[in-house]
């Protein structure tokens, strides 16, 4: 069963990692700008991916230019634009509302895959996606205060959240187009996406004339160690898992399961001593019923 549903399980594993990482990135985002944080954590992840590829002897696989272009575009849209916008939304809205806006990504992905890839899903799959996202949104909306502190409403934060959802959706569809019918290793596609995303971010930061002061937080050993750990888990490992999901599962299904991070936040909240209402538990069961339907495909 694990092999049959390896794409679905990979997406759920990525969601769990991102749930834990959201706590860490709120802390890091208070000390560094969204674009600089994304540039730094993605740069660290590139080094980790490169070392892994070298150890596996898969640094120079045969990849067509079309596949390279699609994966590079995916990196620019999903990592360069999507992740930066998500961090900006996270710092302005907090994890609760930022994750709620992020839940728009799966339906956007399914719609885009239908239009651009002619990727047809069964009615049961669409019902599963709808139930999963409804359950996730129910859980996120239920929380009356953010995990760490209350956040005022921010139109800029909302705009960044919508941009993040769009960037993630477009990045997922272009990755799916490159991976679905090719022999490209998901780890290699991770390296291409990260490199393209960091290159685009570097150009953006040059245009914005970011100074060395933006990187001053990296001088702190504690900050740097925390960032390396978060980069390993949420960028290197989770994006590798996401690429695996997009290779072996339909784009809409993979993105829906990847968006279940708020469900994994609940046990973390319980561990930290926060109360969890019956409504939140009900939302989890709704989402789990959707996930069950997606595993019936």
What's the pLDDT at 146? Answer: 47
The mean pLDDT of the chain is 83
Give the Cα separation of 12 and 70 in Å (integer): 24
Instruction: Report the pLDDT value the prediction gives residue 47, as an integer from 0 to 100.
Output: 94
Contacts of 73 (CB under 8 A, 6+ apart): 174, 196
Question: Does 242 have pLDDT greater than 70?
Answer: yes
Compute the average pLDDT of residues 228-233.
Answer: 92
Tokens matching residue 14: 């990525």
Residue 62, token pair as written in the block? 């045969």
Task: Tell me: pLDDT of 143 over 60.
Answer: no
Cβ atoms of residues 261 and 22 within 8 Å: yes
Please choose, from the candidates 193, 180, 189, the residue with its C-alpha nearest in 3D space to the C-alpha of residue 75. Answer: 193
Give me the pLDDT at residue 148, please: 45
Of 18-32, 186-200, 205-219, which has the strongest mean pLDDT? Answer: 186-200
Whether 2 shows a pLDDT value over 70: the answer reads: no
Which residues, 6+ apart, have CB-to-CB distance to 86 below 8 Å? 98, 102, 160, 161, 164, 168
Q: What is the pLDDT of residues 44-101, one digit of tens each?
A: 999 999 999 988 877 677 778 899 999 999 999 999 999 889 888 877 877 667 777 7
DSSP three-state, residue 40: helix
Residue 264: CA atoms inside 13 Å, Cβ hemisphere, count?
Answer: 19
Dist. CA 102–CA 21, nearest whole Å: 15
> The tokens of 110 are what?
């399914």
Burial per residue of 105-115, b for 16 or more beta-carbon CB atoms within 10 angstroms, e otherwise: bbbbbbebbbe
> Residue 4: is it exposed, middle or buried by C-beta count within 10 angstroms (0-12/13-18/19+)?
exposed
| 182's tokens | 């090719």
Q: What is the mean pLDDT of residues 273-295?
A: 77
What does the pLDDT average to over 31-35?
Answer: 82
pLDDT band for position 210 (cuts 50, 70, 90): low
d(CA 114, CA 253): 12
What are the structure tokens assigned to 130, written together? Answer: 């709808």
pLDDT at 142: 61
Short-list 274, 24, 242, 257, CA closest to 136: 257
pLDDT-above-70 percentage for the chain: 88
What's residue 3's pLDDT? 61
Please measure the distance between the N-terminal and C-terminal CA atoms of the chain and give it in whole angstroms: 13
Whether 109 and 172 have beta carbons less than 8 Å apart is answered as yes
Global confidence as pTM = 0.81
Q: What pLDDT does 261 receive? A: 81
| Tens-place pLDDT, residues 158-198 | 889 899 999 999 999 999 998 887 788 888 899 999 999 99
């Amino acid at each position: 069963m694990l092999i049959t549903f390896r794409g679905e399980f990979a997406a759920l594993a990525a969601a769990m990692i991102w749930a834990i990482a959201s706590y860490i990135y709120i802390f890091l985002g208070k000390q560094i700008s969204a674009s600089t944080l994304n540039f730094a954590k993605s740069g660290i992840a590139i080094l980790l991916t490169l070392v892994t590829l070298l150890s596996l002897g898969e640094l120079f696989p045969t990849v067509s230019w079309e596949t390279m272009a699609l994966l590079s575009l995916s990196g620019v849209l999903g990592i360069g634009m999507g992740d930066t916008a998500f961090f900006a939304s996270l710092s302005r809205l907090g994890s609760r509302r930022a994750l709620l806006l992020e839940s728009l990504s799966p339906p956007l992905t399914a719609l885009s895959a239908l239009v651009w890839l002619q990727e047809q899903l069964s009615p049961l799959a669409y019902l599963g996606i709808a139930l999963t996202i409804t359950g996730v949104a129910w859980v996120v909306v239920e929380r009356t205060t953010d995990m760490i502190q209350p956040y005022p409403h921010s139109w800029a934060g909302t705009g960044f959240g919508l941009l993040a959802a769009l960037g993630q959706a477009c990045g997922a569809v272009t990755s799916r187009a490159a991976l679905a019918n090719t022999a490209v290793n998901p780890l290699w596609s991770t390296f291409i996406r990260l490199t393209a995303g960091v290159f685009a971010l570097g150009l953006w930061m040059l245009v914005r004339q970011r100074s060395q002061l933006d990187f001053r937080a990296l001088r702190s050993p504690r900050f740097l160690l925390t960032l390396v750990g978060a980069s390993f888990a949420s960028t290197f490992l989770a994006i590798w898992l996401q690429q695996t999901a997009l290779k072996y599962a339909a784009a809409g299904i993979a993105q829906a399961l990847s968006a279940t991070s708020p469900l994994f936040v609940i046990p973390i909240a319980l561990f930290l001593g926060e109360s969890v209402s019956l409504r939140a538990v009900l939302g989890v069961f709704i989402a789990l019923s959707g996930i069950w339907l997606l595993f019936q495909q």
